[in-house]
Amino acid sequence: MNNVRKDHLLATLAKGVRYDGRSFQEYRPISIEYKISSKSAEGSARVKIGKTEVVAGVKLEIGEPYPDTPNEGTLMVNVELLPLSSPEFESGPPGIDAMELSRVVDRVLREGEALDFEKLCIESGKKMWIVIVDIYPINDDGNLFDAAALAALAALRDTHFPAVADEKVHYGKLTTTKLPLKHLPLSCTIVKTGDAFLADPSRVEREFEDARLTVGVLKDNMICALQKGGDAGLTPEEIHHMIALAQEKTQELRRLFP
Amino acid sequence: MGLFVQDKDIVVPGQELAEGMDYLPSGDVIREKDKLISIKVGTVSINNRFVKVIPLAGKYTPKREDLVIGEVVNIGFSGWRIDFGWAFEGNVSLKDAVAEFVEKSADLTKYYNLGDWVLTQIVHVAGGGKIIDLSMRGPSVRKLGPGRLVRVTPSKVPRIIGKQGSMITLIKDSTNCKIFVGQNGYVWITGEKPEQELLASEAIAKIEAESHISGLTDRMKVFFEEKGITRKE
């Protein structure tokens, strides 16, 4: 099957130009807004990368710790791809894309130790805090992976514990205690289209991607998560190159969280 | 009695636009008893007795004789199926696409293959839009070569073309690109240099964002002048 649109995209990239005029490793403007839903969530944030927009909310619940980790709290990440955000998304149970997105964000946060899980334990083996992050894309103009991870992280940073009295959580009342955060893992997605490596892929670049690598990076350039997608294979050299790019870009993204 | 709104006012669904029988409802306006009511978010356009609402955004509804841009998504025994952004695919039958005699078992991919993009014309709409017949015969229709696709809101298409094609001519002359605009809001840009295509797509995005504010043509001229483009006359 021929594809005149992909051929044209590759020809344009071969001349060193992206469809929206950015350089290959340039992000679109990023903005982060906190406390967008201070009444219903314990923490929330809205992240925009260009026209891509994602909101995330954090809810806290008290539950019983898992038997294998009696001294730790836990984290749950959910993504629902709203049909209003893209013509590609359908309503109904989460599809493979929603599952991949939520699991990649979960892995970046969990393996990057964004939360200090031990401090989320209230009583060993009896009570712990469950941190639930709900992520909703409002508009998909590409790079939902990075936008979702940024939104989740921003919402966690915004989260305050609700008041607890008589073994009950009083959700309307927030205390001044913030969620115990440990590290700041950031995610950066690089796609390979033809011979070009692109940071912050737009929707059309995602549509025609050959391979994609999402890298979770900590402050000291330590890698905490990797997820490869797309049909084409990558050579070890290409993977090293993409990881190096991601490390460089996450240093820039880190300035969003002073 | 009379009009409640002025030309180019922004209105919302359910808003009363006029009262009495002096005015007649037109596009996206309905009459309820003796009142005219808008059914879309958009700007009012008053032409003599006709009151019309031009929606700020919305989906495309196929109309006969519209030129649309679409992708070949299926090949049958005697024709092609085209996806042009409507809920149902359009059908191009062999007789509307090829002038020469075609053998019964011929390979139709040599005329139009899967993944090809075409500028085509709607010749027939039936069954509430379920059955759409398209034609590849006519002065403007063609198979599209390599190019980039830009999607705009279909209600903005008349503004991108402009009066007697003035706006699209301005963009074509300033950017040196070939530009095809489908009524379905699909715009196909082909230029010699990617930078020129980028400029054309930026111009189209600017028109889409600002078309409800008057003085657009002048602002577009300024836009190109600021980019250092002098038009070839």
Model pLDDT, residue B1: 63
Q: Evaluate whether B179 touches B197 at the Cβ level (below 8 Å).
A: no
Enter the ipTM.
0.82
pLDDT recorded at residue B45: 87
Domain assignment present for A14? no
Q: pLDDT by residue for chain B (233 residues), tens digit each?
A: 688 888 888 999 999 888 888 888 888 898 888 888 999 898 888 888 888 898 888 888 899 999 999 999 999 888 999 999 999 999 999 989 888 888 888 888 889 999 899 999 999 999 888 999 999 998 889 999 899 999 999 988 988 998 899 999 999 999 999 999 999 999 999 998 999 999 999 999 999 988 878 888 888 888 888 887 765 54
- List Cβ neighbours of A55 (8 Å cut-off, separation of 6 or more): A36, A37, A44, A45, A46, A47, A135, A136, A138, A151
Tell me B165's DSSP state.
G
In what helix (H) or strand (E) does residue A52 lie, and over which residues does it extend?
strand A52-63
Residue A20 lies in a domain: no
Q: How far apart are CA A200 and CA A202, in angstroms?
A: 6
Residue of A nearest to B194 (CA): A12
Distance CA(A213)–CA(A226), nearest Å, equals 7
Q: Could you give the percent of chain A with pLDDT greater than 70?
A: 100
Closest CA to B29 of B5, B1, B62: B5
Q: Tell me which chain A residues have a C-beta less than 8 angstroms from the C-beta of B60.
A: none
Which tens digit of pLDDT belongs to each residue from A172-181? 888 899 999 9
Residue with tokens 């636009």: B17
Q: Are B150 and B182 in contact (CB under 8 A)?
A: no
Give the domain extent around A162.
25-256
Domain B67-144 has CATH 2.40.50.140: yes
Residues of A in contact with B197 (CB under 8 A): 12
Answer whether CATH 2.40.50.100 is correct for domain B2-55. yes
> pLDDT tens across A58-110, in order?
999 999 999 999 999 999 999 999 999 998 899 989 999 999 999 999 999 99
Q: What is the pLDDT of residues A200-221, one digit of tens each?
A: 999 999 999 999 999 999 999 9
Domain ranges of chain B: 2-55, 67-144, 148-226
Q: What are the start-end ranges of the E strands in A80-153?
A: 121-123, 127-139
Q: How many CB pairs under 8 A join A and B?
A: 41
Q: Are B204 and B152 in contact (CB under 8 A)?
A: yes
Is A50 domain-assigned? yes
In CATH, what number is assigned to the domain containing residue A89?
3.30.230.70
Topology at the third CATH level for domain B148-226: Ribosomal Protein S8; Chain: A, domain 1 (3.30.1370)
Does residue A108 lie within any of the structural domains? yes
H or E stretch covering A226? strand A223-229
The torsion angles phi and psi of B131, rounded to 5 degrees, stand at -110, 115
The answer to whether residue A74 sits within a structural domain is yes
The residue among B112, B198, B204 with the most chain A CBs within 10 A of its CB, best to mutate, is B198
> Under an 8 A CB cutoff, do A2 and B114 touch?
yes
Q: Chain B residues with CB inside 8 Å of A15's CB?
A: 193-194
Average pLDDT rounded to a whole number, residues A229-243: 94
Whether residue A20 and residue B198 make contact (CB cut-off 8 A), yes or no, is: yes
- Residues with Cβ within 8 Å of B56's Cβ and at least 6 positions away in sequence, in order, are B10, B40, B41, B42, B43, B153, B155, B212
Count of C-beta atoms within a 10 Å radius of residue B94: 16
Instruction: Check for a shared fold between B2-55 and B67-144.
Output: yes
Nearest CA-CA partner of A98 in A47, A150, A134: A134
How many domains is chain A partitioned into structurally? 1
Helices and strands per DSSP (H, E), number in chain B? 4, 17
What is residue B197's predicted lDDT score, i.e. its pLDDT? Answer: 93
Residues of B with CB under 8 A from a CB of A: 113-117, 144-149, 193-195, 197-198, 201-202
**Nearest CB neighbour to A1, from listed B114, B148, B149:** B114
Query: Nearest Cα to B189, choosing from B226, B160, B146, B153?
Result: B146
CA of A33 vs chain B CAs: smallest distance (Å): 24
Quote the tokens at residue B61: 């509804």
Cβ <8 Å between A12 and B149: no
Task: Please tell me the number of Cα atoms within 13 Å of A243 on its side-chain side.
Answer: 18
Contacts B148 to A, Cβ<8 Å: 5, 8-9, 12, 19, 204
Is residue A148 within 8 A of residue A137, CB to CB? The reply is yes
With beta carbons under 8 A apart, name residues in chain B contacting A28. none
- Counting every residue written for chain A, the total comes to 258
Residue A17 in any domain: the answer is: no
